[in-house]
Amino acid sequence: MRVALFITCVNDAMFPDTGKATLAILRRLGQDVAFPMAQSCCGQPHFNTGYQTEALPLVRRFVRAFDGYDIVVSPSASCVSMVHENFAQLASLSGDASLQSDVAALVPRVLELSQLLVDVMGVDDVGAYFPYTVTYHPACHGLRLLRLGDRYPSLLAATEGITLLDLPDAQECCGFGGTFSVKNADTSSAMVQSKVDNVLATGAQVMVTTDNSCLLNIAGALVRRTRAIRTMHVAEILATTRTGGESWRDAAPALARSSA
Amino acid sequence: MSPATGPVVWAGSKPFPRAARTQLAKSEQRATLNRVTHQIRRKRAVVVGERDDWEELRRAGEQIKTRVLRHLDIYLEQAERSLVAAGVTVHWATDADHANRIVHALVKETGETEIVKIKSMVTAEIGLNEFLAQRGITAVETDLAELIVQLADDLPSHIVVPAIHRNRREIREIFAEHLPGAPDTLTDEPSELARQARRHLRERFLRAKVAVSGANFVVADTGTLCIVESEGNGRMCLTLPQRLISVVGIEKVIPTFADLEVFLQLLPRSSTGERMNPYTSLWTGVTPGDGPQDLHVVFLDNGRTDALADPVGRQALRCIRCSACLNSCPVYEKTGGHAYGSVYPGPIGAILTPQLRGMDDPVDRALPFASSLCGACYEVCPVRINIPQVLTHLRAKAVEHDRVHGRHHLERLVFRAVAKAFDDDDLYATGLGLGLPVAHRVAGSDGIHWLPLAGAGWTKSRDLPRPPQRSFRDWWSDQGLDAAGGGSIS
């Protein structure tokens, strides 16, 4: 099984550690990952802001970059949703029949990290260790578009030492919404304040979610209220182990000679 | 085809971002909206959760409505034949003004100067009350929440609960000041407020000769009209007056009586979180000696055929006005309905208003952007309108409108430049390689607290983290990891 990592532009530029964590989890489970350098952005910012024509070359690029891999995995539910929800529409907009068939063939192979772990690799415990109280925010596109359900909550629950605390109104949007947070900054701010109130109400030491773009928003507002709560991508907890701690942040872990 | 005219959007409305800022500052309204939307959400979740076949019901509702829209001409003509056969006079109105003139002529004929009204979105859409008022006819709203809005000379902010933005203390004040005959001792006990409204409305019901209604459904094969309500005040309007005028959007027709089965299950659960609403009125033409003897139906287009012409946007015409999307929307929950500037607020309003009116007004162009695209609206919609899909579709239309009319050059340039950079191997990698170390140093260990221009809205309430020194791709290259591998050893 040839697996390619789709890191996403936000993670590539702002949260490289999430990519390292994804690599660490998969290598620990015996699955190597490639990183095609031709990848960049899925075009979601363009598509969602009304610039569909401008998003089209990025669809072509995505198809070219990940051609030939059995699975494309990403630690971003939102970018994976973009591929699943809108690539077919954009391809048909292009009128290019070969792009349409390429997209149709590729889209089902693009998975969010927990889908690869749980559905394809059949993992229910990734061997993580994280002795803290944690609250999990199911970000909207993973929740409602990909229907990730309890994949992450159950992987977190299997983590040694962890205490999971329920987030009140967990299913409510944090108010990020890409350019929504800029075009409608006041409304977005009001929304993120409610999310922060709910995170604080849990008393958790750590707050995690599936998307660093949403985390950019939640953590950005949270840090103005307190520096006592740590925010992380959920993959960063799953990458952390009792023996290695968070050493995956410094160097790529060796590929486990797993017999799984 | 005719774009909507008249006050779908209220005069003086500001584009959503500005209007929202005004509404967000109202802390008492924020608290009321937060409480009530969460309450209705919980109630809905309970009664929807009771049904194993909820998804099938949603699909049935979607399919019936889709079929109607595909063959709208046929079903409308069938509805007209059935209505006429049952003794109803049918009128056709291309736009708001046309419909208002028809209704006015029908009221004027009777010589009446006061009519009673059942709460109806479509008559709010065409601004009927104002049209009649200018011609000396008083239209009395008989839905309790609509009455509160009317007495306060306020604007409705919700499709089902127009006074959702008012709490009982405010309602007491409105009644004390504006309700004829309200006692000085009036308290804010809900039962006391309801008693006063009932006393006021009973007098009007008993003397009314003309009523105006909308309709939730018009059954094509029988000519039956249906009104779904909670209070029974609609029933009074439908039974006591002599002349009943029903204004109905052309998308309200359904093929057969049996199709009501689907919608009468979907609507109350989605709308008020009830298994069944208290009053469902059905009437088919004139029944001699019983109820109104003089029935009129005014079918209204007002931009609907324009929406129908859009293959993506037309799904908005499936809407049965339940408000589930408003109640579930985190944006609506914060801003309330007035921020949308339209009689149709919330997610459905954000896709319906610009489709009925077109994109020439900045209010309409801003509405499709009034959403974080979280998808909560689509999840609860009883007729499966993919609101996020229509929103992004209309955003593209708004951007195209801007391009054609030479607006927002800078934004377009930025998005084009970013797309170009993302689609250029060297530019993207080099940009990250050179840019990140600089950004890392400039930001400092504390993160970014202030950004200029478009970023200012972000940093008013949020920091940005300190960018890393190196991108993921540079880290990967430094590790000497294979770019093209990725096979499993197991």
Q: Kindly give, in sequence order, each residue whose CB lies less than 8 Å from that of residue B444, ignoring residues fewer than 6 positions away.
A: B466
Model pLDDT, residue A260? 45
The ipTM estimated for the assembled molecules is 0.97
Model pLDDT, residue B6? 60
CA-nearest residue to B20 within chain A is A187
Count the Cβ atoms, other than its own, within 10 Å of residue B252: 24
Q: Do A145 and B375 form a contact (C-beta atoms < 8 A)? A: yes
Model pLDDT, residue B2? 47
DSSP label of A160: B
CA-nearest residue to B482 within chain A is A34
- What fold characterizes domain A133-238? Rossmann fold (3.40.50)
CA-nearest residue to A257 within chain B is B489
Is B373 in CB contact (< 8 Å) with chain A? yes
Model pLDDT, residue A256? 84
Interface touch B488/A223, C-beta < 8 Å: no
Is B232 in CB contact (< 8 Å) with chain A? no
> Taking Cα atoms as reference points, which of B477, B480, B451, B473 lies closest to residue B464?
B451
Q: Within the 230-249 window of chain A, which residues sit less than 8 Å (CB to CB) from chain B?
A: none
Model pLDDT, residue A4? 98
pTM of the model: 0.96
CB-hemisphere CA count at 13 Å for A17? Answer: 18
Interface touch B467/A14, C-beta < 8 Å: yes
- Residue A87 distance to chain B (closest CA, Å): 13
Is B450 in CB contact (< 8 Å) with chain A? no
What is the mean pLDDT for each group of 10 consecutive residues in chain B (490 residues)?
A: 66 96 97 96 98 98 98 98 98 97 98 97 97 98 96 95 94 96 93 95 96 98 97 95 98 98 98 96 95 97 97 98 98 98 98 97 98 98 98 98 94 94 92 94 90 89 95 94 60
B417: three-class secondary structure by DSSP: helix
Chain B residues touching residue A90 (CB < 8 angstroms):
none
What are B201's two structure tokens?
């409305």
Q: Does domain B16-306 have CATH number 3.40.50.300?
A: no
Q: Within the 103-142 window of chain A, which residues sit less than 8 Å (CB to CB) from chain B?
A: 140-141
What residue spans in chain B does CATH classification 3.40.50.10420 cover?
16-306
CA-nearest residue to B426 within chain A is A38
Residue A258, pLDDT > 60, answer: no
Is A50 in CB contact (< 8 Å) with chain B? yes
Question: For chain B, give me the number of helices (H) and strands (E)?
Answer: 23, 10
Given 3-state DSSP classes, what are the helix, strand and coil percentages for chain B, each rounded to the nearest 5?
55, 10, 35
Partner residue facing B462 (CB), from A34, A49, A217:
A217
Q: Do B259 and B318 form a contact (C-beta atoms < 8 A)? A: no
Domain positions in chain A are 3-120, 133-238
Q: Kindly tell me the sign of the dihedral angle through the C-alpha atoms of B437, B442, B443, B448.
A: negative
Q: What percentage of chain A reaches a pLDDT higher than 90?
A: 96
Test the A interface: residue of B35, B378, B430, B488 with most A CBs within 10 Å = B488
Chain A residues touching residue B414 (CB < 8 angstroms):
none
E strand intervals along B184-331? 210-213, 217-219, 224-229, 243-249, 253-254, 279-283, 294-300
Is B335 in CB contact (< 8 Å) with chain A? yes
CA B21/CA B151 separation, integer angstroms: 26
CA-nearest residue to A4 within chain B is B486
Q: Do B343 and B156 form a contact (C-beta atoms < 8 A)? A: yes
Burial class of residue A226 (count of CB atoms within 10 Å of its CB; 0-12, 13-18, 19+): exposed
Model pLDDT, residue B445? 87
Write the single-letter amino acid at A82: M
Model pLDDT, residue B3? 53
